[in-house]
Amino acid sequence: MRRIKLTLEYDGTRFAGFQRQAKGERTVQAELESALAQIPGAVPKVVAAGRTDAGVHALGMVVHYDTEDRIPPEKIPYALNRLLPPDVRALAAEAAPPGFHARYSCHWRRYRYRILNRQMPSALARERTWWVPKPLDANAMQQGLAHFLGEHDFKAFATQERRGTVRTLYRARLERCGEEIVIDLVGNGFLRGQVRAMVGTLVEVGLGKRDPDVIAWLLAHGERKDAGPSAPPQGLYFVAAGYAPWNGS
């Protein structure tokens, strides 16, 4: 038996999230395990570096699975992509080192959020961005975003979270690219709903509804009801998972 580390890209629009659901909804895990079940020797059970909600996309989700097949790792993506639906693609595969675990071996995870900030909606990006028609003050949003860096208790930005709520953010960047505002986040872990709650609060800052320094207060004293609404899922992307300590690049 060997363990395979697999990197996936998927369009989350028509999925009920990554994780298999009790009621049989369409999920990325269910589609991937169905494909693996057709490969003799593969154990159709995958473990992911993270779990994305319905409508959230991935550019580089890492999963692992075990197998007794002898397919060379570099050929696994070709085999799987013949079995997977077109909105999920295997990008790369490699033999995992001893003890590798897609979730527990992960040192950091990276997310990106895209906001389309223009007066008119998009016909092409409606399932890839959050359309905000009113002008956003990107400088104020950047000031608010800076408060998230470092170790904090993110309970004000967590949804139905039962785990401990202290996390560390290594990167929190915002860039305006023409009509888009792109927020890039890297942390040692993220709580359920955390990124979308952070972005929703930052958009209120950008609209002038909140002061940028309110972020510091929310981290120190806030509850979920005190922060802004959750941003919609279609603007969120799981970008990458890292298996060495974050080096700032």
For residue 103, the one-letter residue type is R
**Has 87 been annotated as catalytic?**
no
Q: Tell whether residue 111 is among the known ligand binding residues.
A: yes
- Give the per-residue SS3 of the chain: CEEEEEEEEECHHHCCCCCCCCCCCCCHHHHHHHHHCCCCCECCCCEECCCCCCCCEEEEEEEEEEECCCCCHHHHHHHHHCCCCCCEEEEEEEECCCCCCCCCCCCEEEEEEEEECCCCCCCCCCCCCEECCCCCCHHHHHHHHHCCCEEEECHHHCCCCCCCCEEEEEEEEEEEECCEEEEEEEECCCCCCHHHHHHHHHHHHHCCCCCCCHHHHHHHHCCHHHCCCCCCHHHEEEEEEECCCCCCC
Question: Cβ–Cβ contacts within 10 Å for residue 81, how many?
Answer: 15
CA distance 83 to 74: 16
11, 53, 66, 184: which is the annotated catalytic residue? 53
Integer angstrom CA distances of residue 215 from 125, 149, 152, 165: 29, 11, 11, 16
Residues of each annotated binding site for substrate: 111
Residues of each annotated binding site: 111
Catalytic residues: 53
